[in-house]
Each structure stands twice: as C-alpha cells, then as structure tokens.
C-alpha cells in the first residue's frame, strides 16, 4: 500500500485538544488496519502568529499543497482581536483555501438519531435529516476586488467589498453539487439573491444552463430559491432539502444554520476540495464546521466528534479508504448509542464525558470491530 501523507494543523482554542483525539484514531488505523498514513504537525492561525508573526508561513503552505490531505482544527480567538487585519488567524484559513484552490466546500448536516432531542427543533422536523451544503469557497465577496477601507471627505471612511462571480466559477461548483446529488436523493436547491444582485442572477442562470446542457442530470430535480427564503425554509421544513448549492457568503451562513438543526456544531465535519490539476491530483482540506470555541478551550470538555468525522471524510474522499471511513462512522454511532455525551450535547440521564474520554470510547468501539 502506498504511503499517504497528511498534514495536521491543530490551530487555536480547542483545536489542539480535538486534534489529539484525531491523532489517536489515525494511530489506531495505522496499527490495526495497516493504513500507513504518515502525518506531521505544523502551526496555523494565532498559534503561528505568536511564533512567526504570520498566521501561515510559506513553508507550511507548501507543505499543505504537497500533502494528500490537510486536517485542520480551528483558528482564531479574542487573544488576536487587536492584530492587524492582514495577520488575523482567519487569514490563514482563507489563504489556504485560495492557494490550494479549494473551491468546493462540502458541509453535511446529518441528524444522528441518538441526538434528536438535542436540537432546538421538534424531533419530527429533524429526525432522519440528511442535507449536504455545497458552498463555493474561493470566490464571491470573500475574495472580490476592489476591497478595503479608505478615507473619504469630511473625515469619514468607506469600507468596500465586491461580490463577483464568473460563469466558470459558478459552473464548476454546481457540477460538484449535481454529481453528489446523483449519488444521494437527486435533488438540488440553488440559493442566490437573483432578485437583488446581478452576480446572483448570473449564478441562477449558469446553474440552470449547466443542468440543461447535461442529459445525465435529468434524473435530478433542480430548483432555485432566494437565499433568505432558503434560510427560513431550513428551520420550517429542513427535510425538503437534499443538496443545497450556494455562494461563499450565503454558504457560510446557511451552513451554520443547517448545522445547528442537528443539535450541535460539535458533531459536523467538512471537506474542501480542489479541481484535478494536470497531474490528476486533487488537493483537499478537512475541518470541523465549528470554530475554536475559546470560551471552553483548555477545559478538556470539547466534543472531538466533528474532528474525528473530518478524518473519516478524508479517508473517504482523499485517501480511498471507504470501508475504514464507514467503520469509524459506525463506531461513533455506537458510542452515542451507549449514552456518552460531551458538554455540548449533554442530556438528562446520559453520561457526561470529557474530550479524551470520548476519543477513548470511539477507540474502544473500533477495537470491538478489529
């Protein structure tokens, strides 16, 4: 079996704590399933800023580009609130996305049956929920030019960002959404603000055109929804959705909303993928949907499941270990079934566990299936 290289970027806040659990899992697979995954660790975000005065060194970026997959914890925290905008921890994440060309961000929102009562919505509304948000990740207002803050007359200032998309950017992410929908429930909802923005109208037209031009997508039902309505429909009747494809900014917001439907952000992984380069290689980065949660950092109570499931996604999408990914997902389900809960998903009558205990419990379930 060929050796795989993955780069671990734990980052800030709870990042290092949850990454420790992911490492235990990687070690377990290497030892028991002979996966031969080589990993190394580097600093990113605030942790890198403290050491190198930049949230991402070129050396770490090159290492990320060179690896079979990057596993990232989380970046940011109040400690770096006063740092220059260009050097904020979040810039590391945005630079990694841009330079690695990770245009397709897959954010599943799956409701684990065991956690139905952890959601703020009624059980019947979210039971069985399985949505996939495909968020465009390297364009739109996050990266559009011109941008900046500039002085204007009377001592006032003006802040500018530009929402811009080309047909190519829209079509390549829509293609990812359609291809994934073919393997799922064959329904794609494209969310835009075509009633207000030209770039939104272009979004809608290009998604529709791509669909019309490809007979292989005929089995998919495509509908367009205004992004604000989509936000509302997500809490009204989330099970109407299968795959939602949307731009960078709406994707940021709709994915937080969708994630919370499932009870906890602490449960959800994500994958960011590039196009194939001329050597047929795809770059990828996997990270939990949640942030660095500075308020609970260092307490040993963070939920490591999103991080561990992010590794499961890496196994599936980048390392070609589908079976191992399924094994890991089923081990997590068994742990939840046993009633083990970290603080974010705590429930009456269930057993509260720490970050480490949760990681160990997953390993114990894997051991049973060795």
Site for ligand IPM in 245-264 (CB under 6 A): 252
Note the Cα 7 to chain centre separation in Å: 16
Please identify, using beta-carbon distances, which residue of 90 and 179 lies nearer to ligand IPM. 90
Please identify, using beta-carbon distances, which residue of 16 and 359 lies nearer to ligand IPM. 16
Question: How near is the Cβ of 107 to Mg ion at its closest, in Å?
Answer: 9
Please identify, using beta-carbon distances, which residue of 84 and 367 lies nearer to ligand IPM. 84
90 binds, among Mg ion, ligand IPM, none (CB under 5 to 8 A by kind): ligand IPM
- Distances in Å between the alpha carbon of 152 and those of 85, 148, 158, 195, 222? 20, 12, 7, 30, 45
Cα–Cα distance between 190 and 266 in angstroms, integer? 26
Is 130 an annotated catalytic residue? Answer: no
**Three-state helix/strand/coil letters over 84-148:** CHHHCHHHHHHHHHHHCCCCEEEEEEECCHHHHHHCCCCHHHHCCCEEEEEEECCCHHHCCCCCE
Question: How near is the Cβ of 137 to Mg ion at its closest, in Å?
Answer: 11
Tokens of 207: 């998604």
Cα–Cα distance between 324 and 314 in angstroms, integer? 11
Is 62 an annotated catalytic residue? Answer: no
Is 68 an annotated catalytic residue? Answer: no
Cα–Cα distance between 307 and 96 in angstroms, integer? 18
Is 4 an annotated catalytic residue? Answer: no
Question: How near is the Cβ of 255 to Mg ion at its closest, in Å?
Answer: 7
Please identify, using beta-carbon distances, which residue of 77 and 359 lies nearer to ligand IPM. 77
Write down the catalytic residue from 252, 316, 317, 365: 252
93 binds, among ligand IPM, Mg ion, none (CB under 5 to 8 A by kind): ligand IPM
37 binds, among Mg ion, ligand IPM, none (CB under 5 to 8 A by kind): none
Write down the catalytic residue from 49, 142, 211, 317: 142
Is 317 an annotated catalytic residue? Answer: no
Cα–Cα distance between 49 and 95 in angstroms, integer? 14
Question: How near is the Cβ of 41 to ligand IPM at its closest, in Å?
Answer: 20
Contacting positions for Mg ion (CB under 5 A): 252
Cα–Cα distance between 107 and 259 in angstroms, integer? 8
Which residues lie across from 190 on neighbouring strands?
224, 245
Please identify, using beta-carbon distances, which residue of 288 and 359 lies nearer to Mg ion. 288
Please identify, using beta-carbon distances, which residue of 77 and 200 lies nearer to ligand IPM. 77
Cα–Cα distance between 184 and 191 in angstroms, integer? 19
Site for ligand IPM in 64-93 (CB under 6 A): 90, 93
The 8-class DSSP code of residue 245 comes to E
Question: How near is the Cβ of 256 to Mg ion at its closest, in Å?
Answer: 5
Note the Cα 97 to chain centre separation in Å: 12
- Residue 329 touches ligand IPM, criterion: CB under 6 A: no
Residues engaged in binding ligand IPM (CB under 6 A): 90, 93, 252
> Mind telling me the catalytic residues?
142, 193, 228, 252, 256
């Amino acid at each position: 079996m060929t050796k795989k290289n993955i780069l671990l970027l734990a980052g800030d806040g709870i990042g290092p704590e949850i990454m420790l659990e992911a490492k235990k899992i990687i070690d377990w697979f290497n030892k028991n399933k002979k996966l031969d995954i080589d990993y190394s660790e580097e600093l990113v975000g605030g942790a890198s800023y403290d050491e190198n005065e930049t949230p991402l060194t070129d050396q770490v970026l090159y290492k990320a580009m060179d690896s079979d997959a990057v596993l990232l914890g989380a970046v940011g925290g109040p400690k770096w609130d006063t740092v220059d905008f260009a050097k904020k921890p979040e810039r590391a994440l945005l630079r990694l996305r841009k330079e690695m060309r990770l245009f397709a961000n897959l954010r599943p929102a799956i409701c684990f049956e065991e956690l139905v009562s952890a959601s703020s919505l009624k059980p019947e509304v979210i039971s069985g929920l399985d949505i996939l948000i495909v968020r465009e990740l390297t364009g739109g207002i996050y990266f559009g030019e011109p941008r900046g803050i500039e002085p204007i007359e009377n001592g006032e200032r003006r802040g500018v960002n530009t929402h811009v998309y080309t047909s190519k950017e829209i079509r390549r992410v829509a293609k990812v959404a359609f291809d994934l929908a073919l393997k799922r429930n064959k329904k794609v909802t494209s969310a835009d603000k075509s009633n207000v923005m030209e770039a939104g109208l272009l979004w809608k037209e290009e998604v529709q055109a791509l669909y019309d031009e490809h007979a292989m997508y005929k089995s998919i039902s495509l509908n367009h929804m205004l992004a604000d309505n989509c936000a509302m429909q997500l809490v009204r009747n989330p099970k109407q959705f299968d795959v939602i494809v949307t731009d960078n900014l709406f994707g940021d917001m709709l994915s937080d909303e969708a994630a919370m439907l499932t009870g906890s952000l602490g449960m959800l992984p994500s994958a960011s993928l590039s196009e194939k380069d001329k050597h047929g290689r795809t770059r990828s980065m996997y990270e939990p949907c949640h942030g660095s949660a500075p308020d609970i950092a260092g307490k040993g109570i963070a939920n490591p499941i999103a991080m561990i499931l992010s590794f499961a996604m890496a196994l599936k999408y980048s390392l070609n270990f589908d079976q191992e990914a399924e094994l890991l997902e089923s081990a997590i389900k068994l742990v939840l079934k046993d009633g083990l809960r970290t603080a974010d998903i705590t429930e009456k009558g269930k057993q509260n566990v720490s970050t480490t205990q949760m990681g160990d419990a997953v390993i114990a379930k894997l051991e049973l299936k060795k």
